[in-house]
């Protein structure tokens, strides 16, 4: 079973994405900020990180930079799922090493799960 770490601080989004991902057969861990996420990434070594950008304590950009700078973690697949939808934000996410950038308003949770399945197959 592929494991996913969902880094998201919105309880509603956590609830809906966790449910959809588990229904699709993934094991899901949750982190509500970048500090907790980094700890769980090192402990659990997930197959995929779904990362929000606007987070308490350590924002998604900083977490992504830290992951890609760490030799043990740099190969972790990261997908950004954010409300930040400016072209510059999307480009920054890809430049920093995310493999996909989903703008929450443009994708339903079901569509995001379908994309995740493609990435992890």
> CA angle 26-107-77, nearest 5°?
45
In this predicted model, what pLDDT tens digit does every residue of 39-89 receive, in sequence order? Answer: 999 999 999 999 999 999 999 999 999 999 999 999 999 999 999 999 999
Q: What is the DSSP letter of 52?
A: -
pLDDT value of position 97: 97
Q: What is the chain's mean pLDDT, rounded?
A: 96
Rounded mean pLDDT, 98-114: 97
The DSSP bridge partners found for residue 98 are: none
In this predicted model, what pLDDT tens digit does every residue of 2-24 receive, in sequence order? Answer: 999 999 999 999 999 999 999 99
Q: Report the candidate in 20, 18, 24 with the shortest Cα–Cα distance to residue 5.
A: 18
Architecture of the domain made up of 3-120: 3-Layer(aba) Sandwich (3.40)
């Amino acid at each position: 079973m592929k494991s996913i770490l969902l880094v998201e601080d919105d309880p509603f989004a956590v609830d809906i994405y966790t449910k959809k991902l588990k229904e699709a057969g993934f094991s899901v861990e949750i982190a509500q900020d970048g500090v907790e996420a980094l700890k769980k990434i090192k402990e659990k070594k997930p197959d995929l990180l779904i990362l929000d950008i606007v987070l308490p304590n350590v924002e998604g950009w900083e977490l992504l930079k830290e992951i890609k700078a760490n030799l043990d973690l740099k190969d972790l697949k990261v997908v950004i799922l954010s409300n930040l939808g400016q072209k510059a934000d999307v480009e920054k996410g890809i430049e920093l090493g995310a493999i996909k950038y989903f703008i929450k308003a443009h994708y339903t949770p079901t569509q995001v799960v379908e994309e995740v399945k493609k990435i992890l197959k």
